[in-house]
Structures are given as C-alpha cells and as structure tokens.
Amino acid sequence: MSVIMKGSEVAASMKEELLREIEKLGQHGIVPGLGIVRVGTRPDDLAYERGAVKKLEGMGIRCRVFDFPETISQQDFEKEFSAVNDNPEIHGILLFRPLPKHLDEETVKKIINPLKDVDCMSAANIAKVFSGDETGFAPCTPEAVMEVLAHYGIDLQGKRVTVMGRSMVVGKPLSMLLLKKNATVTICHTKTKNLVETCSNAEIMIAAVGKAKVVTHYLVAENAVVIDVGINVDDEGKLCGDVDYDSVAPKASYITPVPGGVGTVTSSVLARHVVRAAGYLKKIY
C-alpha cells in the first residue's frame, strides 16, 4: 500500500517558522500584504484563491483580490496591474496564469517589480532559478513539490525523475530545482516519443500537464514516487489531479492526493515568499 503524502503535514511543519518571521516583521510595524490578480473565473483559480486567502489571512498576512473581467483590454489590464505593482501595502503579487488569449503576458512580466514577484514571472527571478541563485523567488508550485519530497525523506540524488510538462510555470523551473539536488531529470511533453517506456522507467514521476487523470497506471513504474501537481475539475464538478489516483495508487510507493497534496503546500510557499518580499522591500533582511 502506498504512503499518502499529505500536504497538511508539510504545511504544518512550515507554519512555525512562518509565524516567527511574521512576528519579526510586526515588531517593525509591517503587515505583509499579498495582491492576487485574477482575470476571469476559472474554477481551478477560484479554488486555489479561496484556500490561499484563508491560509494567509489566518497567519496574519493581508490579502487583497483584484479580479477583472475576462474581456478587459490590454491597455486597461496593464494600467490596473501597474497600480497593484505600485501599491506600497502590497509586498507580493500573484497573477493567475494563463491569461486570456487576447492579453499579452510578456508585457506584464516586464512591469512587475522583481522584489514583489513572489511566483517567478520576471526575467530576473527566472534567471536566478536557472542559475541556482536562492535569493530570488522560484515559482511556488515547483518549490512546494521540493518541500513535499524533502518532508517525506525522498532522496533525489542520482534518482531517475520524469517531469510531465514543460511550462515555465511548473515543468522547466521544477526540473532546475531537481537538478540542483542531483536528480537525473527527463522532461516529457506532447511530442515525446515512446511515452510509456520513458515514464515507466522513472523512480519518481511528477505530473504537471493540466489534464484531468491523464496519468494512468500504464505510465507509472512499480513502487515509483508519484507527485501530482494538477488541479482540475472533473465531469462531476469535483477537484482532481493529472493522475488517475485510483489506478496509480496501488502501484506507487508514495503518492500525493488531489485535493490535499501539493496545492496545500503551494499556499504555504506563497506565504513564505510574501513574508520574504516584505522583508526585502522594507530592508529588514
């Protein structure tokens, strides 16, 4: 039977240090603030938003949601985003991506203050992730994956790790974080040939493709560690991951559930980044 890697356990282990850092900021009269920028009402965005706001506000981090209609123009969106970026009470900005197709994400990446870029959109933070510089902000979800693996004592050195997905939000930066821990990383995507052979050779499988239950037991090796990054809504309106949990769990040695897995830890990483950002901006650190 596989070990279920519960995100709540990882988040609990991170909470004590976070509260200490928030208290430290409070001694300087600083209340860390997060600005969540959302365009439209995608169910997965709303689900993550609700959980993140509840967790962060519960720890003393002020959250403001800036939600805009899906029809907003490029010019208006840039204006609104710049206002959030310039707000002195907002220390960290989380932008839900991808944006609607008519909006140019690249422009926003150039606007955001790297010190407020708590989910790694700017070129400055991306460069730091790829160069191994820990002073920047890695994307929250890849860092959450690393926290889960570390908490459950999964040794990465020399291990064969397959990452399904090559986005700049998860797949590519996660691969860099894994390489830094001396894992042997293979990235799979829609053009990968012999997908079953490649995936079933992995000792650790990480699914980050954004498609409900696409990873079945055929893609997973016996006793593999399986990390499910996906947050999707199935035909019944329930949250599910990229992994077909029921078919994969009997084969896996460790597996993360959805909900209750990586997403739970992602919001804790987000909180840590906002606290760090507040410290950087106010020159506490």
Q: Tell whether 85 and 178 lie within a shared domain.
A: no
Q: For residues 192 and 281, which has the higher predicted lDDT (pLDDT)?
A: 192
Is 181 a member of any domain? yes
Q: Tell whether 100 and 156 lie within a shared domain.
A: no
Q: How far is CA 70 from CA 36, 74, 93, 138, 250, in A?
A: 15, 11, 19, 27, 41
Instruction: Please report where in the chains the tokens 């993360």 appear, as a residue.
Output: 256
Give the span between the Cα atoms of 24 and 49, in whole angstroms: 26
Q: Tell whether 146 and 231 lie within a shared domain.
A: yes
Q: Where is average pLDDT lowest: 18-22, 37-41, 194-198?
A: 194-198
Average pLDDT over residues 95-114: 94
What is the pLDDT, as a whole number, of residue 285?
Answer: 61
Q: Tell whether 160 and 255 lie within a shared domain.
A: yes
Domain tally for the chain? 2
Q: Tell whether 155 and 252 lie within a shared domain.
A: yes
Residue in 260, 285, 234, 252 with CA at minimum distance from that of residue 144: 260
What is the pLDDT, as a whole number, of residue 206?
Answer: 98
Q: Tell whether 97 and 180 lie within a shared domain.
A: no
What is the pLDDT, as a whole number, of residue 165?
Answer: 95
262-281 vs 140-151: helix axis angle to the nearest 10? 120
Is 21 a member of any domain? no
pLDDT digits (tens, 9 = 90+) for 138-166: 999 999 999 999 999 999 999 999 999 99
Instruction: Indicate the average pLDDT of the chain.
Output: 94
Instruction: Please report where in the chains the tokens 């407020």 appear, as a residue.
Output: 116
Give the span between the Cα atoms of 82 and 35, in whole angstroms: 12
Domain range for 80: 29-114
Q: Is the pTM of this model over 0.75?
A: yes
Is 51 a member of any domain? yes
pLDDT surpasses 90 at 225: yes
CA 96 to chain centre: 11
Amino acid sitting at position 98: P
pLDDT digits (tens, 9 = 90+) for 169-202: 999 999 999 999 999 999 999 899 999 999 999 9
Is 86 a member of any domain? yes
pLDDT digits (tens, 9 = 90+) for 108-141: 999 999 999 999 999 999 999 999 998 899 999 9
What is the pLDDT, as a whole number, of residue 233?
Answer: 78
Is 127 a member of any domain? no
Mapped onto helix, strand or coil, the DSSP state of residue 219 is helix
Residue in 117, 176, 112 with CA at minimum distance from that of residue 143: 176
Give the span between the Cα atoms of 223 and 250, in whole angstroms: 9
- Can you give the CATH number for the domain in which 106 is found? 3.40.50.10860
CB 242 within 8 A of CB 215: yes
Is 271 a member of any domain? no
pLDDT surpasses 70 at 247: yes
- Can you give the CATH number for the domain in which 219 is found? 3.40.50.720
What is the pLDDT, as a whole number, of residue 150?
Answer: 98
Is 185 a member of any domain? yes
Is 194 a member of any domain? yes
